[in-house]
Structure 1
Amino acid sequence: MLFQLWAPLSSRVQLHLNGTDLEMARCGAGWHELVASARPGDTYGFRLPEGRVVPDPASRCQKSNIDSLSVVTDPEAYAWKTSDWRGRPWSDVVFYEVHIGTFTPGGTFRTAITRLRKLADIGITAIEVMPVAQFAGTRGWGYDGVLQFAPHTSYGTPEDFKAFVDNAHELGLMVFLDVVYNHFGPVGNHLLSYAPEFFHKQSTPWGAAMNFEQSAVRRYFVENAEYWLSEFHLDGLRLDAVDQMNDGSEVHILEELSEAVRTSIAGPRRYLITENPANSMDLLDSSLGPLFDADWNDDFHHAMHVAATGEAAGHYEPFAEQPWQRVNAALAKGYVLPGRALLGSQGSDPTLPPVAFIHYLQNHDQTGNRALGERLVSLINEEAYTLWLEILLLSPQIPLLFQGDDYRESAPFHFFVDTDEERAEAIRNGRAKAADSFGGLPPGRSVDDIPDATDPETFLKSKLPADTAGGCLNEYQRGLKKLLELRRQAISPLLKGIQAGDVVFEREGVIAVDWPCPAGVLQLRANFARHTVELPLRRGQALYARHLLNGDRCTALLGPDGIALVRATDPVIVG
């Protein structure tokens, strides 16, 4: 077995295998290598010149925690039941985001399996797992991972994660993994001491930035993407905050990674999605085809949140003026705020189809970063929440639900972390500032009411309760299932070739967007106003309607909390 470590500053490195130190050969470009006999279950690390033993930065499994020895694994040990899995088309995707540690009371890959069948029955088609790469401590969101190849020991073994994916595929569910390639966590990052060239001197908001101009760094992350997708049979990756992945190389790391995934991995089509606050069109529109399939569109969420709640500070401030106009614009075109190209020129403002955007009413960020972790269902009335949910699921963008949305969970989801006391104090002091960006403190509350992110109770309160209903669906879940069945049967077939839309009516409290598609025009109308509104609506097949009243030859009437989804095939209006 080949053991390698990139340690440019170290003149000597020893392999610490099962308690014995073995001399490694210093090769070119800062690499140290040794071929040694090892079996699955053997423990190892690398002894540096000063005597310290560090884990393998490419460890596939840790013995206990981020500072423990690494464990040799057998990538072929797991017997797949779904080796013939062929994936699903992008038009089928309905995401459901989960945090493994809080998704079930048990908080493991194995216990998470027990909830998959009901999600599949409701109509969810893709599970998006928040980062699982080994991070410091026993609990956290996962965005401060350090050992990018090792599933966190609190969640289970690599075989447990494979079993989770395998069971999901048996039920027809795709599985995506959130990966963080823009920084390493500040705790347990031993690379800083023996390979500082791995990082830029500049920093991201969360830690040192990656030095993608180093070939060893590029290799590490490209191989990491290939590893998760091939060895764990994942259907796709979501790259966190790609706007922080700065690279001055001739070929940007995002281009290289995308090309590697497209060309080197056998099996079903793999998808790549981004979180890209820079609104970079060039990742989604390229002369060689899109590098990435879709982007999390915060612009839709932020405009929707301002329109729904009236909160307009922090991240929501750019949407404070004319939020309804901006919601309509996001539904029609995708991005609302100006973008910044990551690979070069932004170009001539290309028009992207709606399937290039992932929309959501909330995700881990917009709940957990609030002062009290409230979900949207707790901030607005039931009628408004239902209408927003219908808009989300019936629009041609790719929808994403957050864990608990399948049964309208109202309990908070908090930010939580397990770290040393010095960093814990800094985190406590920074929570109020973070909350200011996501709604601030509710009236009558003070900073003393913000849960302590380092308290284990904050983590425990974020766990979803046990599912006491078994396989039975409640009334809300049956309604959700009907919406997703409608999406599968009537909307998904229209998504191939669908184009960016047009806003056809502007008024506060009203959604009115048309999207041209090969089968006609998909028309969405929704009315949040407390009175009936008269809207343009062409005649066609009414796919879904509530409180839709008859109209004349060019308009239709939509009552309060009303919604209509109509596929028009001719220029005559519904009436």
Structure 2
Amino acid sequence: MSHGSVHAGAGSHRFTLWAPEAEAVDLLLGADPEAAEHIAMSRTEGGWWAVEADPTPHDGRYAYSVDGGIPVPDPRSRRQPDGVHAPSQLVDTAAFTWSDQDWAGVTLEGAAVYELHVGTFTQEGTFEAAIERLDHLVDLGVSVVELMPVAAFPGEHGWGYDGVALYAVHEPYGGPEGLARFVDAAHAKGLAVWLDVVHNHLGPSGNYLGLVGPYFTDQHHTPWGQAVNLDAPHSDGVRAFLLGNVRHWLEDFHLDGLRLDAVHALRDDRATHVLEEMSALADEIGERTGIPRTLVAESDRNDPATVAPRGQGGSGGLGLHGQWADDVHHALHVLLTGETQGYYADFADPDALGKVLARTPFFHDGTFSTFRGRVHGRSVDPATTPGWRYVVSLQTHDQVGNRAMGDRLHHGSSAGRHAVGAALLLTSPYTPMLFMGEEWGASTPWQYFTDHEEEELAESIRKGRQAEFAEHGWGGTVPDPQDSATVEASTLRWAEVDSPGHAEVLAFYRDLLRLRREEPGLRSTPLGQGSLTREALTGGDGAEGGELLTVTRGEVQMVALLGGGNTHEVAHGPGARVLASFGGVEQASGALRLPPDSVAVLRVGER
């Protein structure tokens, strides 16, 4: 059924609300709920309530009262101009001005993704300011921009994973029109746009869904609060709410894809999982419009069925197009930092890096996980789910921001070590994803921040994070999430891009992304047909020997020296050509001279 917040304009308007357990529902027109005009709504089919009314004298502001309760925003509100606790405002998404009629889209296969947070990507923290940086992303060589959540959340600043108005666009970023302009501008420059959406829970402040209908269940729980009701009585309306949200973003805002947060927390015991319904919906929209739509899941289950093709009769997978594979990040992190606490412990296995970079995205593919205390994961068949279906990273908002100080991987290591990590990522058989600022070795951390007005909630978050990191052995004071200085510290400093120490890293990232597009060995060597070797070197004159890493994919080879006290010489065959290098690598007389923490990418076969 269409919903009241979809269309706006002068004259009579049909408002609808799904509230299947309600005895009475009132529509409240006006920005001030205490002075609002109350209009009784009528029950219709399927638990919906409806009424015709003229919102024009009230500036399009409206709210609902269920069974005489407090005024609540529209669960499908397209705009919350006065915050998530205030009345909603009508938005006519069909009236947006678009210039992307010739946009053909970007497929996941061959893509390179760039994750950014609108509020800290620029000093202004808006869609308009982010548009001004799109040329940087084009020059970098990525093809997809993945926006962290923009669904309306409390306050001005936040990560967005505590969103409560899942159809609205965060007002401080620029609201719904700002998002539409950003997507249109990105398409004009050849960039696809994905949006990170959170369907598995709502934030603790401004969550009024439970006052409207049976959106949540006590049958399951998540680490973040109540679980979404997907299979209890009246859950058909909840599923329609989530599926409508997918359609809303992909159609109303022309988005090319969605990253689905923590799908393992979407507990669904029905024969057809809601994720399978989402993937079918995205495919239908893509086929109808001729523009591919991509759904990428974040899941900690290490289960290739997430991206296996949908099947009939209970066989097959969920049919999502891609999924994050954090095991690749963990293996790279241990290699480059030496950290082995917590869930990194198993990745100190000498075989971990070679396994995840050459054979499978899941180190735990039916093996014992010491962190979980049980066997975890399932093996991957590259013929069913090829490598490009797995999105992998060197850094993400999660892996950086969930550290006590929000320090990035390169903050504790040399630029050369960072470059080695980038080369391992960008020569891998997977779809690579960069986190904003990574490409130039940004000096800014990425820390956790919130802007809750409830002091009790804010204090519980402060204490909770302090206690959590103390358990992981991090001492000292964790940055206050409620302090504006935490936001400022996490905001990118674009003046760094061309400065010494940063410009060289950026140039190397550009070279690597260009090679991914141009070199057949990197584009088409299937998962399982490449190789990675590690060799511990013996140093001379008492110097540390370091470790030699060699990755081969088709006719492309990456050679890196991590650590060591001396330059190391590596022979190569005749005709080998250096395509990109970092750290002072030299080529002469059939060999490479690799200083400590340096890397080179070569073509070793004929072309």
Normalising by structure 2, what TM-score? 0.83
Corresponding residue for residue 354 of structure 2: 328
Deviations 1:147-186 (A, max 9, x none): 1000011111211111011111111111110001111111
Change (3 A) 1:278 1:551: farther
Corresponding residue for residue 27 of structure 1: 44
Whether the 8 Å contact between 2:149 and 2:195 is mirrored in structure 1 is: yes
Whether the 8 Å contact between 1:331 and 1:501 is mirrored in structure 2 is: no
Change (3 A) 1:535 1:34: farther
Q: Any gaps of 5 or more consecutive residues in structure 2?
A: 1-12, 31-35, 368-375, 537-546
Change (3 A) 1:348 1:170: closer
Distance (whole Å) between structure 1 residues aligned to residue 165 and residue 394 of structure 2: 32
In structure 2, the residue corresponding to 1:269 is in which secondary structure?
coil
Corresponding residue for residue 6 of structure 2: none
Q: Report whether the alignment pairs 1:403 with 2:436.
A: yes
Corresponding residue for residue 90 of structure 1: 108
Paired residues for 1:237-276 under 5 Å = 237-265=258-286, 266-276=289-299
Distance (whole Å) between structure 2 residues aligned to residue 468 and residue 384 of structure 1: 19
Whether the 8 Å contact between 1:370 and 1:440 is mirrored in structure 2 is: no
Corresponding residue for residue 418 of structure 2: 385
Shift of residue 476 of structure 1? 3.9
Change (3 A) 1:348 1:310: closer
Once the two structures are overlaid, the 10-residue window that deviates more, 263-272 or 195-204, is 195-204
Query: Which of 315, 328, 335 pairs up with 1:307?
Result: 335
Once the two structures are overlaid, the 10-residue window that deviates more, 30-39 or 451-460, is 30-39
Query: Which of 157, 163, 183 pairs up with 2:181?
Result: 163
Distance (whole Å) between structure 2 residues aligned to residue 513 and residue 353 of structure 1: 19
Distance (whole Å) between structure 1 residues aligned to residue 69 and residue 335 of structure 2: 59
Shift of residue 391 of structure 1? 2.0
Distance (whole Å) between structure 2 residues aligned to residue 176 and residue 368 of structure 1: 20
Whether the 8 Å contact between 2:395 and 2:435 is mirrored in structure 1 is: yes
Change (3 A) 1:205 1:16: same
Paired residues for 1:199-278 under 5 Å = 199-213=217-231, 214-265=235-286, 266-278=289-301
Corresponding residue for residue 16 of structure 2: 4
Whether the 8 Å contact between 2:302 and 2:377 is mirrored in structure 1 is: no
Change (3 A) 1:502 1:525: same
Shift of residue 12 of structure 1? 0.1
Corresponding residue for residue 381 of structure 2: 350
Corresponding residue for residue 337 of structure 1: 364
Shift of residue 464 of structure 1? 1.6
**Percent of aligned pairs sharing the same letter:** 36
Whether the 8 Å contact between 1:374 and 1:410 is mirrored in structure 2 is: no
In structure 2, the residue corresponding to 1:299 is in which secondary structure?
helix
Distance (whole Å) between structure 2 residues aligned to residue 539 and residue 225 of structure 1: 53
Distance (whole Å) between structure 2 residues aligned to residue 234 and residue 507 of structure 1: 45
Whether the 8 Å contact between 1:278 and 1:339 is mirrored in structure 2 is: no
Taking only aligned residues, the RMSD between alpha carbons, in angstroms, comes to: 3.2
One-letter code aligned to 1:23: A
Corresponding residue for residue 414 of structure 1: 447
Distance (whole Å) between structure 1 residues aligned to residue 298 and residue 435 of structure 2: 16
Corresponding residue for residue 481 of structure 1: 510
Change (3 A) 1:429 1:524: same
Corresponding residue for residue 499 of structure 1: 527
One-letter code aligned to 2:457: R
Whether the 8 Å contact between 2:156 and 2:172 is mirrored in structure 1 is: yes
Change (3 A) 1:350 1:41: farther
Distance (whole Å) between structure 2 residues aligned to residue 452 and residue 471 of structure 1: 30
Deviations 1:488-529 (A, max 9, x none): 2225x85357333454534453434444xxxx5654443325
Distance (whole Å) between structure 2 residues aligned to residue 292 and residue 96 of structure 1: 20
Shift of residue 199 of structure 1? 3.3
Once the two structures are overlaid, the 10-residue window that deviates more, 153-162 or 195-204, is 195-204
In structure 2, the residue corresponding to 1:53 is in which secondary structure?
coil
Query: Which of 303, 306, 314 pairs up with 1:283?
Result: 306
Shift of residue 328 of structure 1? 1.8
Change (3 A) 1:467 1:505: closer
In structure 2, the residue corresponding to 1:505 is in which secondary structure?
strand
In structure 2, the residue corresponding to 1:544 is in which secondary structure?
strand
Corresponding residue for residue 322 of structure 2: 294
Whether the 8 Å contact between 2:442 and 2:493 is mirrored in structure 1 is: no
Shift of residue 558 of structure 1? 6.5
Whether the 8 Å contact between 1:10 and 1:48 is mirrored in structure 2 is: yes
Shift of residue 481 of structure 1? 2.3
Normalising by structure 1, what TM-score? 0.87
Distance (whole Å) between structure 2 residues aligned to residue 279 and residue 285 of structure 1: 12
Whether the 8 Å contact between 1:282 and 1:346 is mirrored in structure 2 is: no
Once the two structures are overlaid, the 10-residue window that deviates more, 35-44 or 292-301, is 35-44
Q: Any gaps of 5 or more consecutive residues in structure 1?
A: none
Whether the 8 Å contact between 1:549 and 1:559 is mirrored in structure 2 is: no
Distance (whole Å) between structure 2 residues aligned to residue 74 and residue 468 of structure 1: 40
Distance (whole Å) between structure 1 residues aligned to residue 323 and residue 444 of structure 2: 28
Change (3 A) 1:41 1:95: farther
Corresponding residue for residue 399 of structure 2: 366
Deviations 1:370-422 (A, max 9, x none): 11111111111121111111222232322211111233211211100112111
Change (3 A) 1:468 1:524: closer
Distance (whole Å) between structure 2 residues aligned to residue 236 and residue 11 of structure 1: 39
Distance (whole Å) between structure 1 residues aligned to residue 379 and residue 324 of structure 2: 22
Deviations 1:35-84 (A, max 9, x none): 43446951111122234111001000013100111111111222112222
Shift of residue 201 of structure 1? 3.7
One-letter code aligned to 2:446: F
Whether the 8 Å contact between 1:262 and 1:270 is mirrored in structure 2 is: yes
In structure 1, the residue corresponding to 2:331 is in which secondary structure?
helix
Query: Which of 319, 323, 330 pairs up with 2:347?
Result: 319
Whether the 8 Å contact between 2:419 and 2:598 is mirrored in structure 1 is: no
In structure 2, the residue corresponding to 1:255 is in which secondary structure?
helix
Whether the 8 Å contact between 1:548 and 1:562 is mirrored in structure 2 is: no
Shift of residue 13 of structure 1? 0.2
Distance (whole Å) between structure 1 residues aligned to residue 366 and residue 24 of structure 2: 47
Change (3 A) 1:469 1:140: closer
In structure 2, the residue corresponding to 1:202 is in which secondary structure?
strand
Q: Report whether the alignment pairs 1:107 with 2:130.
A: no
Shift of residue 256 of structure 1? 0.6
Whether the 8 Å contact between 1:328 and 1:512 is mirrored in structure 2 is: no
Corresponding residue for residue 96 of structure 2: 78
Whether the 8 Å contact between 1:548 and 1:564 is mirrored in structure 2 is: no
Q: Report whether the alignment pairs 1:424 with 2:458.
A: yes
Distance (whole Å) between structure 2 residues aligned to residue 374 and residue 233 of structure 1: 34
In structure 2, the residue corresponding to 1:90 is in which secondary structure?
coil
Query: Which of 54, 71, 74 pairs up with 1:53?
Result: 71
Corresponding residue for residue 511 of structure 1: 549
Corresponding residue for residue 454 of structure 1: 482
Query: Which of 572, 575, 579 pairs up with 1:544?
Result: 579
Query: Which of 129, 133, 136 pairs up with 2:147?
Result: 129
